[in-house]
Amino acid sequence: QVQLVESGGGLVQAGGSLRLSCAASGSIFSIGAWGWYRQAPGKQREMVATITSSGGTRYADSVKGRFTISRDSARNTVYLQMSALKPEDTAVYYCNAEPLPGLDDPDSWGQGTQVTVSS
């Protein structure tokens, strides 16, 4: 019911910045929380940042102070602003939409976008 389309990935030098975007369509009213996750080659997918429908945010320890998650409700879009990028940030980044509590809808995922940070 919720479709997610990501953009903004690419190649950047260490210390640089990128902004990832995730545009949602469909049953937007059913979303209780948004998240950004990443998966590096040979490693498990990990949570990077989340934001609830009320605006509360959480971050992985490895990105605190460098990454910021935000929402633009008018555009049904969630962003991940990434600054002071490090080579260890290299991964495929995925957008996630979690349904409100009590709903039977499954989580929605974007297609994934590659972020590569060169040293």
Q: Tens digit of pLDDT for each residue in 37-51?
A: 999 999 999 999 999
Phi-psi region of 3 (alpha: psi -120 to 50; beta: other; left: phi over 0): beta
Residue type at position 89: D
pLDDT (tens digit, 9 = 90+) per residue, 61-79?
Answer: 999 999 999 999 889 999 9
Distance CA 5, CA 40 (A): 20
3-state DSSP assignment of residue 87: helix
Q: What single-letter DSSP state applies at residue 12?
A: E
Statement: residue 3 has pLDDT above 90: yes
pLDDT of amino acid 56? 95
